[in-house]
Structure 1
Amino acid sequence: MKFLVLLTPARGKTPDDFKPHMVREVEAVWASYVGDELREFYFSKDPQVLTLIYELPSAEAVHGTVDALPMVEAGLLDRQVVHLGPFNQIAALFTQSGA
């Protein structure tokens, strides 16, 4: 199953709050990537969003993996997890209408 994870700074957190966790966070993300769980990762600066695409067997597995990230554990990042599925609505292009 594929999941989109959006990580954003928790309200009131400053860049200085993140600095002590940066190396451990990047190491954890890299470990997920080489461990074949994390498929893609992106960072946007304005607004600050870390976008992760995981491929794991369940939402519970994704939540466990994301919750173990150092900055999430420290309460520095808020997370949103979205289960991605097929766009079945595209089938409408291939159905015949009554015409």
Structure 2
Amino acid sequence: MQFLVLARVAEGVAMEQVLPYVKAEAEMVWQQYSAEIVRSVYYIADMSGAVLMCEAPTLEAMQEIAAQFPMAQAGVLKFEVLPLKPYLGLGSLFAKS
């Protein structure tokens, strides 16, 4: 199952509080990438967080994985896990009568 994971700096958290976790967070992203969980990772353009495209067997499994990230454990990032499914609406545009 595919997921969009939004990781945003928690409200009221200064960037100085985030910086000590950057290396550990990057290492965890790399571990999850190597395990074929994280498929791609991007910064949000204003640098307020990151977006990860991920794969996991279930929503619960993905939430557990996200909760293990160092910045989630430290409370400096808030993770929102959005389950995705294919958009099938295009078929109706091309249905033959």
Q: Same fold (TM over 0.5)?
A: yes
Mean CA deviation greater in 75-84 or 38-47:
38-47
Deviations along 1:28-83, one digit per CA (max 9) or x if unpaired, are 00100011111010012415130001111100111011000000111111111111
Q: Percent identity?
A: 33
Cross-structure match for 1:50: 50
Could you state the TM-score of these two structures normalised by the residue count of structure 1?
A: 0.91
Question: 2:19 maps to what in 1?
Answer: 19
Q: How far is 1:2 from its partner?
A: 0.4
Q: Which residue pairs with 1:59 in the alignment?
A: 59
SS in 2 for 1:42: strand
Aligned length: 97
For 1:10, the equivalent position in structure 2 comes to: 10
Q: TM-score, normalised by structure 2?
A: 0.93
Decide which structure has the larger Cα Rg and report it: 1
Give the drift of 1:95.
1.9
- CA–CA separation in structure 1 for the residues paired with 2:2 and 2:10: 25
Q: Are positions 1:41 and 2:48 aligned together?
A: no
3-state SS of 1:57 partner: coil
Runs of 4+ in 1 over 6 A off after TM superposition: none
Q: Which residue of 1 aligns with 2:86?
A: 86
Across the aligned residues of Structure 1 and Structure 2, the Cα RMSD in angstroms comes to 1.2
Task: Name stretches of at least 5 consecutive residues in structure 1 with no aligned partner.
Answer: none
